[in-house]
Amino acid sequence: MPALGLDAWWDEPHYRQCYTANLRGEFILSKLLQRDPPKLRALVASLFQVEPLPENISAAEWATILTAMGASPDEIADVQTRMGRAD
């Protein structure tokens, strides 16, 4: 199962210019939004009362979002590392 195919995202020029956690999070959320806008919007609405800054999304919240969007466990761990949420 290909999961989300996140590995290709990290080579994109736009991602390589994301030097902060907020920019990396915005990039990841924008890619998820392109994949399935209604699903992502519903997930964010169910998790948060107001739209959070990507850098403030906890590890558990990232895992919930990514799992619902179809990410594999390895992809979730990769995003957690990129967002500075890895153990």
Q: In this predicted model, what pLDDT tens digit does every residue of 1-28 receive, in sequence order?
A: 458 889 899 999 999 999 999 999 999 9
Confirm whether 87 is domain-assigned.
Answer: no
Number of residues written out for the chain? 87
Give the domain range for residue 33.
6-82
Give the pLDDT of residue 3: 80
pLDDT tens for residues 28-80?
A: 999 999 999 999 999 999 999 998 999 899 999 999 999 999 999 999 999 99
Confirm whether 1 is domain-assigned.
Answer: no
The count of other CB atoms within 10 Å of the CB of residue 39 is: 15
Give the pLDDT of residue 1: 46
Confirm whether 57 is domain-assigned.
Answer: yes
Confirm whether 13 is domain-assigned.
Answer: yes
Confirm whether 21 is domain-assigned.
Answer: yes
Give the pLDDT of residue 85: 82
Confirm whether 65 is domain-assigned.
Answer: yes
* pTM across the whole model: 0.89
The count of other CB atoms within 10 Å of the CB of residue 8 is: 10
Model confidence at 86, pLDDT cuts 50, 70, 90, reads: confident
Q: How many domains does the chain have?
A: 1
